[in-house]
Amino acid sequence: MVSFLEARSASPDQVALNERLVDIVAPTPGARLLEVGCGSGVLCRLLARAVRSSGGRMWGIDVAPHFAAGARRRAAQAGLSALTAFQVGDAETLPYADSRFDAALVARLLLHVQDPEWVVRQVRRVVRPGGNIVLMDWDFGTVAVDHPDRELTRRILQWRTDHRGGNNWSGRQLWRHALKAGLHDVSLIPIVSVSHGEESSLTQSLWRAAQGAWDAGVVSRAEGEDWIEALKEQIVQGIFCTSIVYFVVCGRS
């Protein structure tokens, strides 16, 4: 999974998204930053470089030991060990003192937890008053793909949205979670990620969606393979287009 996350982060759509997230977090030199649900540490490494002076440091926490270990190893390989710290821990019981951090990021995590609002409350607790908190999740219900068979496309995308990979409406719910958790000065930034080729992480998700749908009996294997083949033909012709909306919600502790 560490290798999968690293490979996904190298796809053009995810590179652009992560760069935009760093701009939104807007880390300042010397800041103490936390990422909750850090995975393999891709964003931690990007943010660590931005806070490297004046005693700045980047913390990452993840419930999976192999993610924390992988993040630590890759940070060391990037020469960032002195600027980063990774540990195993649960987002619902963050092991940090109140007001420990200047800012926090929660990206691609809340769709996987049982009580997203409580996690945001925990993050608010460990960020100093007035500190920035940035939440981000995709919303698979916003996926648009140009395909000649609309009815089949709806079946595949609806199955993917409702039955795979957690709460795929999480993106649209972040605004509510932020407000109910007591964040101040809340704002929402929708990022539309558009892909035209097979190398994007979204396109790869479409292939997996079709395969999952035929495994689940929602479509036949022949229908799924034909659906993928039609999109691959569009890629060859240079006319393929798909998009998804990532919701970024920003607030202050």
Contact 23, 47 (CB under 8 A): no
| Cα gap 103→193, rounded to integer Å | 25
Across all residues in the chain, what is the average pLDDT? Answer: 95
Instruction: Give, in degrees to the nearest 5, the angle at Cα 212 between 211 and 216.
Output: 120
| Cα gap 164→119, rounded to integer Å | 22
pLDDT band, very low/low/confident/very high, at 55 (cuts 50, 70, 90):
confident
Contact 139, 173 (CB under 8 A): no
| HSE, side-chain direction, 13 A CA sphere, residue 236 | 6
Longest CA pairwise span in the chain (Å): 59
Give the pairing type, strands 242-252 and 127-145: antiparallel
User: Rounded to the nearest 5°, which phi and psi values hold at 36?
Assistant: -95, 125
| Cα gap 75→84, rounded to integer Å | 7
Overall average pLDDT of the 117-141 stretch: 97
pLDDT at 51: 87
Give the bridge partners for 194, in sequence order. 243
pLDDT band, very low/low/confident/very high, at 145 (cuts 50, 70, 90):
very high
| Residue 119 pLDDT exceeds 80 | yes
pLDDT at 174: 98
| Cα gap 81→60, rounded to integer Å | 12
pTM score: 0.94
Handedness of CA 231, 233, 238, 239 (dihedral sign): negative
Domain ranges of the chain: 2-252
The residue assigned the tokens 């999480």 is 170
> Could you report the per-residue pLDDT of 14-33, keeping only the tens digit for each?
999 999 999 999 988 899 99
Domain 2-252 sits in CATH 3.40.50.150:
yes
> Could you report the per-residue pLDDT of 199-235, keeping only the tens digit for each?
999 999 999 999 999 999 999 999 999 999 999 999 9
> Could you report the per-residue pLDDT of 63-88, keeping only the tens digit for each?
999 999 999 999 999 999 999 999 99
Tell me the two tokens of residue 162: 């409702």
> Could you report the per-residue pLDDT of 174-201, keeping only the tens digit for each?
999 999 999 999 999 999 999 999 999 9
> Could you report the per-residue pLDDT of 44-53, keeping only the tens digit for each?
999 998 887 6
Task: Give kind and range of the element (H or E) at residue 227.
Answer: helix 221-237
Handedness of CA 19, 21, 23, 29 (dihedral sign): negative
pLDDT at 111: 96
